[in-house]
Chain A
Amino acid sequence: ETGVTQTPRHLVMGMTNKKSLKCEQHLGHNAMYWYKQSAKKPLELMFVYNFKEQTENNSVPSRFSPECPNSSHLFLHLHTLQPEDSALYLCASSQDSKGNIQYFGAGTRLSVL
């Protein structure tokens, strides 16, 4: 248990569906991150939030929409995804904006049909 909880653990959705991934951290951290892990590729940073403000959008398509209502919660809203978006989506948090030590959740395995 790392203190970062992601739900759901698995998600199957059609290309026209709308779904959301949720991340919650119980570590008192101020920065939260979304990563995408695809087969045979390094982890890709998608978004960074620091004190609820988005500080990085790594050229992510608009069909992925993050939301950070407070420092403990992070969402990733999904809409009209493509099959190539199927991947493991990992959430992480860190103590401060320096982001040096990031703690990860178990991830949501997403399959887009």
Chain B
Amino acid sequence: GEDVEQSLFLSVREGDSSVINCTYTDSSSTYLYWYKQEPGAGLQLLTYIFSNMDMKQDQRLTVLLNKKDKHLSLRIADTQTGDSAIYFCAESTRAGGTSYGKLTFGQGTILTVHP
């Protein structure tokens, strides 16, 4: 079945770049996502990448996808204290026989940004 793995913790200094990594197992993934969850809040869609792309850049965010290794990363440039949150990687697949795209989430990476 589908499985998404992330490291649990990442600590960086303000102004540095953060790189959050994710691996997944389902080669039939259609989209891969990064969501951000701040304390007491729901999940905010940060960015997503279609499975036929290698890279996507959106302001301070860069997503890299290595389909061969089933590896996804999120790079945050010039990390700020406001970026401290939990970051979830997710993949969507078209499960056989169902009419919807199923999202499978990783456990989340807690990013802590120190001043």
Contacts and interface: CB of A to CB of B under 8 A. Distances in A.
Interface of A: 2, 4, 6, 31, 40-43, 45, 48, 50, 55-56, 90, 92, 94, 97-107, 109
Given A31-B100, A90-B42, A101 B48 contact: yes
B112 interface: no
A6 to B, nearest CB: 7
A48 B100 contact: yes
B42 A99 contact: no
Contact of B103 (A40, A102, A107): A102
Nearest to A10: B40
A99 B92 contact: yes
Nearest to B3: A42
| Interface bin, chain B | 20 to 34
Interface of B: 4, 30-31, 33, 35, 40-45, 48, 88, 92, 94, 98-108
24 contacts: A31-B100, A42-B106, A43-B105, A45-B102, A45-B103, A50-B100, A55-B99, A56-B98, A90-B42, A99-B100, A99-B101, A99-B102, A99-B103, A100-B31, A100-B92, A101-B45, A101-B48, A102-B45, A102-B103, A104-B45, A106-B41, A107-B41, A107-B42, A109-B40
B43 A98 contact: no
Contacts of A2: 42, 44-45
A45 B104 CA distance: 9
Nearest to A40: B107
Given A42-B104, A50-B100, A94-B101, 4 more contacts: A90-B43, A94-B100, A107-B42, A109-B40
